[in-house]
Amino acid sequence: MDTATFNDIGAVVEADRAHVWHHLTQHKAFETIDPRVVVEGKGLRVWDATGRETLDAVSGGVWTVNVGYGRESIANAVRDQLLKMNYFAGAAGSVPGAIFAQMLTDKMPGLTRVYYSNSGSEANEKAYKMVRQIAHAKHGGKKWKILYRERDYHGTTIAALASGGQEERKSMYGPFPEGFIPVPHCLEYRSQWGDVADYGLRAANAIEEVILREGADTVGAIILEPVTAGGGVITPPEGYWPRVQEICKQYGLLLIIDEVVCGVGRTGKWFGYQQYDIQPDIVTMAKGLASGYAAISCTVTTEAVFEMFKDAADPMAHFRDISTFGGCTAGPAAAIENMRIIEEEDLLGNTTAMGERLMGNLHKLMEKHSVIGDVRGKGLFCGAELVADRATKEPMAESKVAAVVAAVMKRGVQIGMTNRSLPGFNNTLCLSPALIVTAAQIDQITDAIDGALTEVCG
């Protein structure tokens, strides 16, 4: 067969079917249907190989394209930088790397240092390696354990997966490295302690119980998403975060906040943790940093964390880590322009306003459709949990949730659903349009859900 070319889309689809292994996909389906190949995007609109147009309400599938498709100024910034200096590895800095680190930390009071890599998983691995090195260098090998929360997700590599709270993602990939310890989730709608008055406090205190069980001298850090994303769009309950911060201080835990989804505007502030007045020690981010125009992730730390790696008397005390493509300049060049766009177009303001409209619309849908058990979210990061029975909260069958998502797609809108999961957690519709979304597009998204729920659930 001849090699497919850019302007023979039929051949491209066949090349895809024959040679590409898609993420998160059961390929058996492609024996009877064509794989979906996306061809073009503009704003929130996407066209696939069949010429079909959809409104993308999930920012590229996984909360990534925050400033929308087709941004010429980002493409130009990347092009100019690549022609001037595309890459240099290791100890050398770069012009866009330095500028973006300054711009970024400017938005993050209390944090000062930026460590570059390429994906969310990698950014979290860097954070874990920092914790482990601090354990060896400063705590005599103690404080090496890292706590993570049920339902949170921190990436796909083996250690990142070890710290993931979604069992269905882990079950085929063990054994895992030691020292990653779960703490209970904080989804009040599915309270694991019944009807408690102070659920947020109860869920935070459950972290303390784990620390005391493990021994505070063995636990070095906890990693948490500000709002849990793929695990069910879980907004923290009242009182949760202040108590978590208190517990971290009391037991000397570094607080790692995973902003891979919430970061760079998604919730209506630059970072999700800023919605809850948290002061983290380490913050990781990826996806929306450059809106998918280039691969980039950052592990951002306080000066106090950084200082622990700066002992001139011990030449081995520096962070003994490298990321080859952390030396690519396309990432920070794109991220600079991405941040400039968010500022210039007041996309934080738009996110807050449009997020309120989206939540308002979802609450109206809830009045009409009894299969919506709960709606949750912050900014343009919303979820609607579907149930078979609102009174008993029995989860809607996963196949039926998938049918709803397909029926929404039939109406020209792409939404997502939380990952295949433990019973009771695989039933949340995910909505996260680009931060440029308009009121008319928000209504188009919720109208499509309205129609789909009527079609599938009656």
How many helices (H) and strands (E) in the chain? 13, 16
Which tokens go with 234? 């879980």
CA-only gyration radius of the chain, Å? 22
Residue 430 touching ligand PMP (CB under 6 A): no
| CB 114 within 8 Å of CB 326 | no
d(CA 416, CA 435): 17
Q: How far is the CB of 119 from ligand PMP (least distance, A)?
A: 4
Residue 223 touching ligand PMP (CB under 6 A): no
Our CB check for ligand PMP shows the closer of 97 and 230 to be: 230
Among 93-101, 201-209, 225-233, 442-450, the segment contacting ligand PMP (CB under 6 A): 225-233
By CB neighbour count within 10 A (0-12 exposed, 13-18 middle, 19+ buried), where does 108 fall?
Answer: buried
Residue 261 touching ligand PMP (CB under 6 A): yes
Considering only residues 116 through 145, tell me which ones interact with ligand PMP, judged by CB under 6 A. Answer: 119-121
Residue 156 touching ligand PMP (CB under 6 A): yes
d(CA 152, CA 180): 13
- Dihedral angle at the C-alpha atoms of 190, 191, 194, 196, nearest 10 degrees? -130
Q: What are the Cα distances from residue 233, in Å, to 54, 173, 207?
A: 23, 25, 20
Among 5-13, 90-98, 167-175, 256-264, the segment contacting ligand PMP (CB under 6 A): 256-264
Q: How far is the CB of 165 from ligand PMP (least distance, A)?
A: 11
Tell me which of 134, 211, 244, 260 binds ligand PMP, using CB under 6 A: 260
Full DSSP string of 362-382: HHHHHHH-TTEEEEEESSS-E
User: 76: closest CA among 293, 339, 325?
Assistant: 293
Our CB check for ligand PMP shows the closer of 272 and 395 to be: 272
d(CA 301, CA 367): 44
Among 6-14, 115-123, 215-223, 407-415, the segment contacting ligand PMP (CB under 6 A): 115-123
Residue 62 touching ligand PMP (CB under 6 A): yes
d(CA 289, CA 263): 8
Q: How far is the CB of 176 from ligand PMP (least distance, A)?
A: 16
Considering only residues 229 through 248, tell me which ones interact with ligand PMP, judged by CB under 6 A. Answer: 229-230
Among 43-51, 209-217, 253-261, 446-454, the segment contacting ligand PMP (CB under 6 A): 253-261
Our CB check for ligand PMP shows the closer of 186 and 452 to be: 186
Tell me which of 111, 146, 286, 401 binds ligand PMP, using CB under 6 A: 286
Residue nearest to ligand PMP (CB): 120
Q: Where are the alpha helices (DSSP H) in 317-376?
A: 330-344, 347-368
Residue 153 touching ligand PMP (CB under 6 A): yes
SS3 category, 349:
helix
Residue 374 touching ligand PMP (CB under 6 A): no
Helix (H) or strand (E) holding 282, with range, is: strand 282-285
Q: How far is the CB of 281 from ligand PMP (least distance, A)?
A: 17
Among 68-76, 152-160, 204-212, 330-338, the segment contacting ligand PMP (CB under 6 A): 152-160
Residue 200 touching ligand PMP (CB under 6 A): no
Our CB check for ligand PMP shows the closer of 234 and 372 to be: 234
d(CA 206, CA 237): 14
**What angle, 0 to 180 degrees and rounded to 10, lies between the N-to-C axes of helices 439-457 and 398-410?**
130
Q: Nearest 5°: phi and psi at 409?
A: -60, -40
Our CB check for ligand PMP shows the closer of 274 and 441 to be: 274
- The contact set with ligand PMP (CB under 6 A) reads 62, 119-121, 153-156, 225, 229-230, 258, 260-261, 286
